[in-house]
């Protein structure tokens, strides 16, 4: 579709999720004029891709602020020194130490679902990419919810779940030396929180599944065994290929996704001797309802 007063065009990427936006240059002086169209596409498609951008941290911050108030990640050592809202997602090392969050997101998750106000939008911009691999998969949790039976929807609707950042460290990071355990100070910043299993999008009104293997520990209203069985079922359900868009990165890509109705997974199938360096901004969201 085309938008009035812009040269932006939108091309759907899959049947369930994702769109590529073309005709946009974010280093130009007038992107304010096209932001309403970008935001409309973001709400409709949940993931939007803008190719061929070249943003420095300050420019990424300026554009990201159009979506709302920015937040800084708890892993402050990986934030840009001049712009702490910018997190490095990177395997680049300086004097043997990673400069960014290495092995980040190599499991299905919704950004900062372990916070009282989880991330609304994430904006990830690729600066260096390996010669192969390193894709990111995105899943439409809204569509996954819609395809559940009415009986399952009614069962899930009143349930709540615990989200805990340490869950990722207890499971996915436990054998990765470059991701040491959280310090006590870092843990204190991210105590476990409780969110609904089904959340309602505050802007579109659509319902979506809101559990993920990375951060969801258990469903509160069920026994441990019941919780594990239901979570495992929901995780299998939303990982069906028909709900997924797999993004193959090119240098200069800017991918923006809506964490209120998506999960994503970074595929670690690239040569770790090759640089994979990205910068990310995160937009604060609201309390899930």
The residues annotated as belonging to the active site are 109, 111, 264, 280
Task: Dig out the tokens for 12 from the structure.
Answer: 């759907």
**CB 108, CB 264: distance < 8 Å:** yes
Reading phi first (left if > 0) and then psi (alpha if -120 to 50, else beta), residue 77 is in alpha
Please give the structure tokens belonging to residue 284: 């604060």
Q: Which H/E stretch holds residue 86?
A: strand 86-90
Strand 136-140 and strand 244-247: the pairing is: antiparallel
d(C-alpha 268, C-alpha 249), whole Å = 13
**CA distances (Å), 258 to each of 42, 79, 122, 216, 237, in order?**
7, 21, 7, 18, 20
């Amino acid at each position: 579709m085309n938008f009035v007063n812009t040269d932006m065009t939108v091309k759907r990427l899959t049947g369930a999720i994702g769109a590529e936006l073309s005709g946009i240059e974010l280093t130009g002086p007038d992107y304010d004029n096209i932001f309403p169209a970008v935001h409309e596409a973001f709400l409709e498609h949940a993931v939007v891709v803008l190719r061929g951008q070249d943003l420095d941290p300050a420019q990424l911050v300026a554009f990201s602020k159009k979506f709302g108030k920015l937040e800084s990640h708890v892993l402050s050592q990986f934030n840009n020194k001049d712009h702490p809202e910018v997190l490095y997602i990177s395997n680049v090392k300086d004097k043997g130490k990673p400069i960014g969050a290495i092995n980040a997101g190599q499991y299905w998750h919704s950004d900062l679902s372990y916070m009282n106000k989880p991330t609304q939008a994430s904006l990830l911009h690729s600066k260096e990419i390996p010669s192969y691999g390193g894709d990111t998969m995105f899943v439409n949790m809204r569509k996954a919810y819609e395809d559940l039976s009415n009986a399952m929807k009614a069962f899930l609707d009143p349930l709540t779940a615990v989200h805990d950042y340490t869950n990722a460290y207890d499971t996915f990071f436990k054998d990765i030396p470059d991701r040491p355990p959280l310090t006590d100070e870092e843990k204190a910043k991210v105590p476990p929180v409780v969110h609904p299993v089904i959340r309602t999008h505050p802007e579109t009104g659509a319902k979506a599944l809101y559990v993920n293997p990375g951060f969801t520990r258990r469903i509160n209203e069920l026994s441990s065994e019941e919780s594990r069985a239901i979570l495992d079922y929901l995780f299998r359900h939303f990982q069906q290929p028909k709900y997924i868009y797999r993004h193959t990165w090119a240098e200069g890509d800017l991918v923006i996704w809506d964490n209120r109705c998506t999960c994503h997974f970074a595929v670690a199938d690239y040569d770790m001797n090759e640089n994979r360096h990205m910068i990310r901004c995160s937009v604060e969201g609201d309390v899930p309802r």
